[in-house]
Amino acid sequence: MPYERVDYAALKTELEALTEQLKKASDKEEAFEIVLKTDKLMGHANTMGTICHIRHDIDTTDEFYAKEKAYYDEARPTIEEASVAYKEVLYNCPFRDYLVEKFGPVCFKNMEISMRSFKPEMVPMFQKENALTTEYGKLLAEPKIEWEGEMLNLSLMSKYTTDPDREVRKKAFAKVNAFMLSVQPRLDEIYDELVKLRTERAKLLGYDNYVKLGYDEMWRNDYGPEEVKVFREEVKKKIVPLATKIHENRRKRLGIDHLYFYDTTDFAYGSPRPTGTPEEILAAGKQMYAELSPETKEFFDFMTENELFDVLGRKTKRGGGYMTSLPDYDFAPFIFANFNGTQHDVEVITHEAGHAFQGYVTRKNYPELNEIGMETAEIHSMSMEFFTEPWMEKFFADKKDDYVLSHLEGAVTFIPYGCMVDEFQHIVYEHPEFTPEERRKEWLKLEKVYRPHMDYADDEFYNNGGLWQRQQHIYNSPFYYIDYCLAQTVALEYKAWMDEDYKAAWDSYLKLCKLSASDFYSKMLPKVGLKVPFEKGCLDKTVEVISKKLGLC
């Protein structure tokens, strides 16, 4: 895939010209054609930026792409003003009814949100934020942890923090958290600056604080902090007690008197690990998707034939995993990951592939119909983790049942953690005056509410409330995290459903994938037979079924 730097000054001129044309459009077809042209123009810029981003992530020491990435960090915000101006014209287009017919109501609501949440004065602040989050990512990707004569980064260390041998885990955590402590002063400064910059942006709009703007920037077009709060309260009531029971159950299974934070494994032998090489995992994925449905077969064949995976862990690669897509190539999905010999490797083939699958089945849509919110996108991925369970033997051999159990337990215990990350950010942005120490204190308070069973022993980094500083989303994508919790709830609903009637659950899932962003979140869920998680009692049935499944009620 050829790469060339996007000339943002030229892009801006072209976008402004199209905006002018749209303003003067004399009939609905002409307006429609101009929108398609604009999509193509912006899609190309987006493709170049994404290729650069990918090539930087797969080797953070590559100087060429590091420079290009720095260029985009600077240049990308300079288009924002012209982009908002375009949206304003499109939003107010006299042929809007026709365009809504073509593109659906969601993108127009999103335009409204983009218009109200942006001012040109914000551009230099975005640039500073980009530089800070890039620095944060780099800081955590550096191979600075000495392990048996080698220098490893955090991502590669996770193999040892989940080792079956308790002493190894303990030692690995000590090394990891000593590293985190050593960078904590800078992590504190970076976050402090980010909070202040984001608050300053919110003030520019006349908002009380960053919370509302954070929701706007996540394109929350369908719910606000009040709804999310109802959900978190349901989680405290229903899921926290279940998570505590799971914790206790795991302790018994492990035959340990007391669980500490470093007891990360699910079984005495450790946690089920995939048995194959990365190549074998990919091959098993191919076979699995071929059997699951005709749609998934076509999708996975396309991914492998076009080399759209970069999943092997390497020292200079950025941490984490994601799926993105390339507009110029018919929105071909691309999957980035760091295989490290743990369950995560398989979750790349299930979770990230779930995102990619949804992107694949809707790739011929107008991009306006695919402006899905993350609470919806994560349903596609997290549910795929459950839909693929019948094939787990291919990856875990005789440990298949163990994997299925630990996956389900993990899905449940994740929700309180995710809600804690979310409530933390509400507190942080409602109190931008907090010092880093005060923020960390708030985190510790929340730990007691959401994870009362956790014991951090004498670990200095965790006991000073620093655990969240490894959570990239808190730095890079404020308020993103609750989306995982909302989606995990729906995925658990699918889990309960598929055990009763797999086919019906799959049909509902496929329908939801295809609905994409043709309608709003809380309207689409009931259309495919799912509950909306903002209502009191929304978790009752799922928690009941899952508790039974786990033998915990």
Site size toward Zn ion (CB under 5 A) is 1
What is the 8-class DSSP label of residue 220? -
Sheet of 322-326: strand order equals 309-312, 332-339, 322-326
- Which residues are 324's β-sheet partners? 334
Structure tokens at 286: 């191919």
Residue 268 CB, shortest distance to Zn ion, in Å, is 31
Please state the closest distance from residue 222 (CB atom) to Zn ion, in A.
19
**Whole-number minimum distance, CB 488 to Zn ion, in Å?**
10
Enter the DSSP assignment of 238.
I
Note whether 325 and 370 are within 8 A (CB): no
d(CA 320, CA 304): 21
Task: Give percent helix, percent strand, percent coil of the chain, each to the nearest 5.
Answer: 70, 5, 25
Task: Report the distance separating Cα 369 and Cα 39, nearest Å.
Answer: 12
Contact criterion met (CB below 8 Å) for 296 and 289: yes
User: How many CB atoms are located within 10 Å of the residue 7 CB?
Assistant: 12
Nearest to Zn ion of 349, 428 (CB atom): 349
Q: How far is the CB of 3 from Zn ion (least distance, A)?
A: 26
Paired strand residues for 326 = 332
Scan residues 372-431 and list those touching Zn ion (CB under 5 A). 381
Contact 126, 73 (CB under 8 A): no
Tell me how far, at minimum, the Cβ of 216 lies from Zn ion, in Å: 21
Counting contacts by CB under 5 A, is residue 350 touching Zn ion? Answer: no
Closer to Zn ion at the Cβ: 240 or 379? 379
For residues 351 and 382, the answer to whether their CB atoms sit within 8 Å is yes
Interstrand relation of 332-339 and 145-147 (parallel, antiparallel or unpaired): unpaired
- Residue number with the smallest Cβ distance to Zn ion: 381
Kindly tell me which of 38 and 158 has the beta carbon lying closer to Zn ion.
Answer: 158
Q: Output the smallest distance, CB 326 to Zn ion, in A.
A: 18
Which residue, 83 or 324, has its beta carbon nearer to Zn ion?
324
Q: Which is nearer to Zn ion, 370 or 381 (CB)?
A: 381
- Least Å distance between CB 355 and Zn ion? 6
Question: How many CB atoms are closer than 10 A to CB 224?
Answer: 12
**Min CB(316)–Zn ion separation in Å:** 24
CB 179, CB 145: distance < 8 Å: yes
Nearer residue to Zn ion within complex by CB, 199 or 381: 381
Nearer to Zn ion, 461 or 479 (CB): 479
Of 475, 445, 448, the C-alpha closest to 192 is 475
The nearest distance, CB 323 to Zn ion, in angstroms, is 7
Closer residue to Zn ion in complex, CB, 358/381: 381
> Largest alpha-carbon pair distance within the chain?
76
The 3-state DSSP class for residue 477 equals coil
| Residue 325 or 381 with smaller CB distance to Zn ion | 381
Task: Identify residues 235-274 at the interface with Zn ion (CB under 5 A).
Answer: none
505-to-21, 384, 415, 492, 508 alpha-carbon distances in Å? 46, 11, 22, 12, 5
Closer residue to Zn ion (CB): 335 or 408: 335
User: To the nearest whole angstrom, how small is the minimum distance from the Cβ of residue 551 to Zn ion?
Assistant: 29
CB of 387 to Zn ion, least distance (A): 15
- Find the distance separating the first CA and the last CA of the chain, reported in whole Å: 54
Comparing CA positions, the residue from 350, 349, 368, 342 lying closest to residue 42 is: 368
**In the complex with Zn ion, which residue's Cβ is closer, 381 or 488?**
381
Residue 223 DSSP class = -
Residues that bind Zn ion (CB under 5 A): 381
